[in-house]
Amino acid sequence: MTYDIVLCGVGGQGVLSLAAIIAKGAMMERLHVKQAEVHGMSQRGGAVIATLRISSQEIFSDLIPEGAADMILSMEPLESLRHIKYLKKGGALITGKDPFLNIPDYPDEDRLYKEINSVPSSMIIDTKSLALEAGSNRAQNIVLIGSASKVLPIKRETFLKAIEDVFSRKGDDIVEINKKAFLLGRKS
């Protein structure tokens, strides 16, 4: 089994922690993992892409070929489409609903949603409302992981344990908020 994910968003949106938590879950299930990130200049409010490869066998490449990703997981709609060339036929496109507006020529949202919906296995998640419902606006990326978890080859319980591990040093309240965010995302 190999499962390849392209993760994207805008620098500062938490794309790297998104990748880190899924990678943690995969490793807890004793799968091989390779996670490529972007650091440095592009982190400053620019388009950010990371790749995560999960496999039961040894993985060679850090990068995913075009047309080979099983999933695109994006924090926001424009960025989800920027990397569409990587998504294989039958792959899942999951994105947060709210645009991240920091450029003057951001496209019309409805046009973006239409393009996203043209991909058969696509989901547009209202991460903001669900994160607020869970108790914190900052849990938007965990909501997204919850939505992705419906498709990812990692168990629900493993994710909850991974979230607990990652947030435990920030206190029980934060752990609970994030678990709730995950479950709300999973239900959406």
Partner 1 sequence: MSDLVLLGDEAVSQGAIDAGISIAYGYPGTPSTEIIEYLQEWKRKEDHSLVASWCSNEKTAYEAAVAVSMMGKRSLVTMKHVGLNVAADAFMNSIGFTINGGLVLAVADDPGMHSSQNEQDSRYYADFARTVCMEPRNQQEAYEMTKEAFHLSETLHLPVLLKLTTRISHSRAVVKRGPIREKKELNPSRDRHHWTNLPFLSRQNYEVLWQQRTELVTISENSDYNPLIIHPDNTDLAVITTGLAYNYYKEAEKELENKPSHLHISFYPMPEKKIRALAQRAKRVIVIEEGYPYVERFLKGILPLEIQIDGKLNDTIPHLGEINPDICRRALGLPVFEAVRPPIQDLPGRPPQLCRGCPHTDSYKALNKALEEYDHPVVTSDIGCYTLGYFPPHNAIHSCLDMGASVSMARGAAEAGAHPVVGVIGDGTFMHTGIQGLVDMLSAGNRVTLLILDNSITAMTGMQETIVDSSRIVEIVKGCGADPEHIKILKPLPKNLEENTAIIKGEIDYDGVSVIISARECVHITKKRLSKR
Quick one: DSSP state of residue 102?
-
Question: How many residues contact partner 1, by CB under 8 A?
Answer: 53
Cβ distance to partner 1 smaller for residue 37 or 126? 37
172-187 and 140-148 helices, crossing angle to 10°: 40
Q: How far is CA 187 from CA 23, 126, 144, in A?
A: 21, 12, 11
CA distance 160 to 167: 11
Q: Is residue 188 near partner 1 by the rule CB under 8 A?
A: no
Of residues 72-111, those binding partner 1 (CB under 8 A): 78-79, 81-82, 84-91, 93, 102-103, 105-107
Give the angle subtended at the CA of 145 by the CAs of 141 and 151, to the nearest 5°: 155
CA distance 5 to 35: 9
CB of 66 to partner 1, least distance (A): 5
Binding mask 106-135 for partner 1 (x = CB under 8 A): xx-------x--xxx---------------
Rounded Cα–Cα distance for residues 146 and 152 (Å): 10
Site for partner 1 (CB under 8 A): which residue of 17, 56, 61, 168?
61
State the binding string over 39-58 for partner 1 (x if CB under 8 A, else -): xxxxxxxxx-----------
Q: Which single residue is written with the structure tokens 């409302």?
A: 129
Residues near partner 1, by CB under 8 A: 10-12, 23, 27, 32-47, 59-68, 78-79, 81-82, 84-91, 93, 102-103, 105-107, 115, 118-120
